[in-house]
Structure 1
Amino acid sequence: MKKIIIVGGGLGGLSAAVTLANAGFQVELFEKNRHFGGKLMHVQLGDYSFDFGPNTITMPYIFQEVIEQTGEKAEDYFNMIKLNTHTRNMFQDGTQFDFSSNQQDVITQLEKLDPAGALHYPSFIGEITRLYHLSKKHFFRRSFCSWRDYTSPALAAAMTKVKPLQTLDNFFRSYFSNPNIIQSYNRYATYIGSSPYKAPATFAMIAYLEMVEGVYYTEGGNVKIAEAFVSLARKFGVGLHNETEVEQIIITNKKASGVKLKSGDIITGDYIIMNADLLKAYPELVYEQFRPSFKNSKVAKLEPSISAFVILTGMKHNFQQLKHHNVYFSNDYQQEFTDLFKNKTYSKKPTIYICNSAHTDPARSPKGDNLFILANAPSLPHNGKLQVEPDAYKELIYDTLLSYGLNLNPHIKEEKVITPSYIADTFGAYRGALYGLSSNRKLDAFLRPKNVSRDINNLFFVGGSTHPGGGSPMVTLSGLNVGKRIINLEMNKNSL
């Protein structure tokens, strides 16, 4: 029985663990934190329950696949609720635009807000559907492990068809004319930690997921997804070791042969899977001499994605104007991204996202709303120093919301601020970035770090900083892809 060692217990590591254990491999997973699930972390403040990590869930079938590949039923582990009208977009001129997977509802709104957009909406849906299915066919299910994986004629042809040279902003402008409507769709760039004025139009496929397939919420909190994977991993014999930090990946004759724990213990294995931020963990866990293709100087030149400034607030009552997902947009969105990526500063007029899961699931917060409030933040500078005073920026966010008529300050019962520094320390995120590399540069968008080390045999990578990318479904898929890749490798060895 081959032994797999997994470093990190996020969704990618857990999905790989379940996949491999189900195939008969011995799997040992080591996680430095107390909880498993990575950024999909439960936070309890008094009577209020929050998910820190991904609040917007799409592609439920990816999470279900992790479970159902074992013969188990996903509905026995979690219940996903579809949110038909899922996101309320608010603008400073008083405009309100609700996202929905009911296309007629969207067209009805557009007829008043953007008549030309209403006429173009069916063709818009057709185009984002095309982009999604091309990505699904040629990118999602591949575990890119060598340059040869990038050179197939079919893949090259597909890459020319997904609008790699057009920006997201330009793409949305070809269908809509109202600046507020364009801005609401441009926000999809932040799902990959990037700027809509630089990221390729390929990522308009994210709009397909929300506007066609729909947005979901997991009853009891999205953290139930991670809890389901943990439960299933234990059932199939995975050794799950929390509060156990890996200090070094051991390299023997250009092969990953085991790990050294912070305790000093050595654990050997046949394959090592690293489910950690590649830009931070790879240089920390593997001596530079063993990774000539990934030198420290190369990492220093890469552009990290945006981070987040988060306030968790337990409110004394419920706000009727809030949906499950809410976005309060800046009146100068382009300047916000200039601040984030070029000036490396916090916006003085930030766009603010609020998740209010109590709107759908009152049991999570029976005494009032549980508001997850997020403003985009720049990644940390190389010296790691936070570029803003947290209390001052928190108050700027509250004042901004007040300008929209949402007065939170007098009604706060519980409060916790989470900065990029916390994200960097808790989740091992390179410079506090949420998604590893940004996708502002074309090469970084399409040629994300491969799923296997170029220099070290048997060392694989999963998670948001590698292929196929950030976001909970893609991270989970990376674990599935790598798990199946290792299974196929062993099957091919045994057939020789």
Structure 2
Amino acid sequence: MKKTAAIIGAGIAGIASAVRLANQGYDVHVFEANSYPGGKLSSFEVKGYRFDAGPSLFTMPHLVDELFRLSGKDPQAYFDYIRLDEVCRYFWDDGVRLTAQADRQAFAREMEEKLGEPAAHVLAYLQDSAVKYNVTEKLFLHRSLHKLGTYFNRDAFKGYANMHRLDAFTTMNRANERRFQQPRVVQLFNRYATYNGSDPYQTPATMNIIPHLEYNIGAFFPKKGMVDITESLVKLAEDLGVKFYFNTKVAKIETSENRVTGLTFEPTADRSGRRSSFLAPRSFDIVVSNMDVVNTFRKLLPDAKQPERILRQPKSSSALIFYWGVKKSFSELGLHNILFSNDYRAEFEHLFHQKTMYSDPTVYLNITSKHKPDDAPDGGENWFILVNAPNNEGQDWEALIAQSRKDVMKKVSKTLGVNIADHIECEEILDPRSIESKTSSSQGALYGNSSNNRFAAFLRHANFSREFKNLYFVGGSVHPGGGIPLAILSAKIATDLIDS
């Protein structure tokens, strides 16, 4: 008989784990409390406007392709995407605008022409970002940091020789200020701290590896929208025999001595209010949790030894998202757009120290109908507007949302020269509270623990349990971190440990 594997949560890391375990010969069962897969990587539709609910930037597509090839499948038979010719459009309140081309030389020239930064500085920075990535990739991203063997191999010794290139003992902002003459260029590259919910004035400059993903590897767009990453991988998993159970909430991970023995469940209502049937307790050979590691321990393993040092680490930032159906088209906007705050330091001071929203927020605006016209009615656009928000610590969110909505409308209207309120046909809102409730993310944090100190990588939970031999962890709250690429890599690390 096949060995059995249970996966708690059908987020992208859970689905990737299911694919890998099916290829290892396991009988895989995925249990999801929601009525849909994908976690944050899902979608919905309102009045003819389709919205990707969560992640909107697609990088490192080879990690998705790898799952199909591992399964003996042609990736394009399931999932297709394009490489973008432009990465992002940037806007400042004084009218300065810049389009970041995917071509590095063109990007560097425009930085020189529009912002006054020598092109050579930009190209050198992107080369250094590539070096940082190459040093860290095989040492930190593809292996467990919590196994001794990780530190005694050829890749590790090569990495040690270049550790000084990582700038681990200075902040992202300080490193960028040393490299660039123009404050706007520093701000542009500081924004990459938000890709893992960090503060550029605190997070180590090692995080300057992130621009490498967009400018050296490339930014991409799934032809059917971001949700197609989820849907194509679910189809692949099902073709491999994986079974998905939706509206099925795990109540507890059952244990005996140093092993996990199985799961117990509680019924869950779907979106229409219908209750799922109650599943009897089930035993499994291994269990993989794609649930936030804090809630995995607090809710599903209350009697286990709690790794308090890790669970109590400060959490990353969250987000306030407005989904607007806009009955007008704007040629000056692209797929990805950033409207910058006039005082970036003050914005992050509010986020991480005052735990509130800043009155002049940086606005990220994603419009997938630019590349996928059927995401909006003719003449309209589907706007995904995200502003950085603190994680949920009991703030007055109704007041913060109302004020932030006014601040965002003011900024967008000024940039575009129209009263955007006149063109909003429909609206949905996602805030840190609903992120927490829908995805079981502790405090609504988007990326688990904060990366605002130089030891943050070592303060994420391992991809395995030290107490229970057959329990493993994947997803953005554990090593190597949050975001689609790292979540997929967490599945690779965990299932490689299972396989070994």
Corresponding residue for residue 442 of structure 2: 430
Structure 1: runs of 5+ lacking an equivalent? 489-496
Equivalent pairs, count: 483
Amino acid at match of 1:358: S
TM-superposition CA deviations, 1:272-296 (whole Å, max 9, x none): 1000111223211102x4224x14x
Corresponding residue for residue 487 of structure 1: 499
- SS of residue matched to 2:333: coil
Are 1:146 and 1:454, in contact at CA under 8 Å, matched by a contact in 2?
A: no
Q: Verify: 1:444 aligned to 2:456, yes or no.
A: yes
Shift of 1:69: 0.6
Corresponding residue for residue 163 of structure 1: 167
Amino acid at match of 1:28: H
Match of 2:252 among 224, 248, 258: 248
Shift of 1:151: 7.6
Are 1:20 and 1:484, in contact at CA under 8 Å, matched by a contact in 2?
A: no
Corresponding residue for residue 73 of structure 2: 72
TM-score between both structures, scaled by the size of structure 1: 0.93
Corresponding residue for residue 63 of structure 2: 62
* Whole-angstrom distance in 2 between the partners of 1:449 and 1:97: 39
* Whole-angstrom distance in 2 between the partners of 1:326 and 1:123: 24
Corresponding residue for residue 365 of structure 1: 376
* Whole-angstrom distance in 2 between the partners of 1:403 and 1:27: 52
Corresponding residue for residue 397 of structure 2: 386
* Whole-angstrom distance in 1 between the partners of 2:240 and 2:123: 46
TM-superposition CA deviations, 1:142-187 (whole Å, max 9, x none): 1344466468763655554422112111222232211111111111
Corresponding residue for residue 207 of structure 2: 203
Corresponding residue for residue 493 of structure 1: none
Amino acid at match of 1:272: V
Shift of 1:192: 0.5
Match of 2:329 among 295, 318, 325: 318
Match of 2:280 among 252, 257, 265: 265
TM-score between both structures, scaled by the size of structure 2: 0.92
TM-superposition CA deviations, 1:385-419 (whole Å, max 9, x none): 63744233212211121222353210111111111
Shift of 1:73: 0.8
* Whole-angstrom distance in 1 between the partners of 2:184 and 2:245: 48
- SS of residue matched to 1:404: helix
Q: 1:282 to 1:147 in 2, by over 3 A?
A: farther
> Which is worse superposed, 205-214 or 96-105?
96-105
Corresponding residue for residue 5 of structure 1: 6
Amino acid at match of 2:366: C
Corresponding residue for residue 18 of structure 1: 19
Are 1:468 and 1:474, in contact at CA under 8 Å, matched by a contact in 2?
A: yes
Are 1:48 and 1:370, in contact at CA under 8 Å, matched by a contact in 2?
A: yes
Corresponding residue for residue 290 of structure 1: 304
Q: 1:135 to 1:298 in 2, by over 3 A?
A: closer
Match of 2:353 among 342, 348, 353: 342
Are 1:138 and 1:158, in contact at CA under 8 Å, matched by a contact in 2?
A: no
Amino acid at match of 1:386: W
> Which is worse superposed, 222-231 or 108-117?
108-117
Q: 1:397 to 1:122 in 2, by over 3 A?
A: closer
Amino acid at match of 2:27: Q
Shift of 1:77: 1.0
* Whole-angstrom distance in 1 between the partners of 2:310 and 2:180: 40
Amino acid at match of 1:366: P
* Whole-angstrom distance in 1 between the partners of 2:181 and 2:471: 48
Amino acid at match of 2:304: F
* Whole-angstrom distance in 2 between the partners of 1:314 and 1:143: 43
- SS of residue matched to 2:7: strand
Corresponding residue for residue 291 of structure 2: 276
- SS of residue matched to 2:51: strand
Structure 2: runs of 5+ lacking an equivalent? 267-277
Corresponding residue for residue 476 of structure 1: 488
* Whole-angstrom distance in 2 between the partners of 1:268 and 1:455: 18
- SS of residue matched to 2:287: strand
* Whole-angstrom distance in 2 between the partners of 1:196 and 1:151: 32
Q: 1:389 to 1:170 in 2, by over 3 A?
A: closer
* Whole-angstrom distance in 1 between the partners of 2:373 and 2:188: 27
Shift of 1:214: 1.3
> Which is worse superposed, 8-17 or 134-143?
134-143
Corresponding residue for residue 134 of structure 1: 135
Shift of 1:117: 3.3
* Whole-angstrom distance in 1 between the partners of 2:20 and 2:310: 33
* Whole-angstrom distance in 2 between the partners of 1:151 and 1:171: 30
Are 2:121 and 2:179, in contact at CA under 8 Å, matched by a contact in 1?
A: yes
Are 2:310 and 2:460, in contact at CA under 8 Å, matched by a contact in 1?
A: no
Shift of 1:256: 1.3
Are 1:144 and 1:452, in contact at CA under 8 Å, matched by a contact in 2?
A: no
Corresponding residue for residue 222 of structure 1: 226
- SS of residue matched to 2:166: coil
Q: 1:401 to 1:384 in 2, by over 3 A?
A: closer
Q: Verify: 1:376 aligned to 2:388, yes or no.
A: yes
Corresponding residue for residue 492 of structure 1: none
Corresponding residue for residue 465 of structure 1: 477
Are 2:10 and 2:30, in contact at CA under 8 Å, matched by a contact in 1?
A: yes
Corresponding residue for residue 107 of structure 1: 108
* Whole-angstrom distance in 1 between the partners of 2:3 and 2:168: 41
Match of 1:404 among 392, 399, 415: 415
Identity %: 32
Shift of 1:67: 1.2
Q: 1:182 to 1:237 in 2, by over 3 A?
A: same
Are 2:447 and 2:476, in contact at CA under 8 Å, matched by a contact in 1?
A: yes
Amino acid at match of 1:270: D
Q: 1:56 to 1:131 in 2, by over 3 A?
A: same
Shift of 1:111: 2.2
Shift of 1:113: 3.4
- SS of residue matched to 2:255: strand
TM-superposition CA deviations, 1:113-145 (whole Å, max 9, x none): 344431222321221110111122211111344
Shift of 1:298: 5.9
* Whole-angstrom distance in 1 between the partners of 2:446 and 2:52: 15
Are 1:340 and 1:377, in contact at CA under 8 Å, matched by a contact in 2?
A: yes
* Whole-angstrom distance in 2 between the partners of 1:252 and 1:141: 31
* Whole-angstrom distance in 1 between the partners of 2:395 and 2:258: 32
Q: How does 1:81-92 map to 2 (within 5 A)?
A: 81-92=82-93
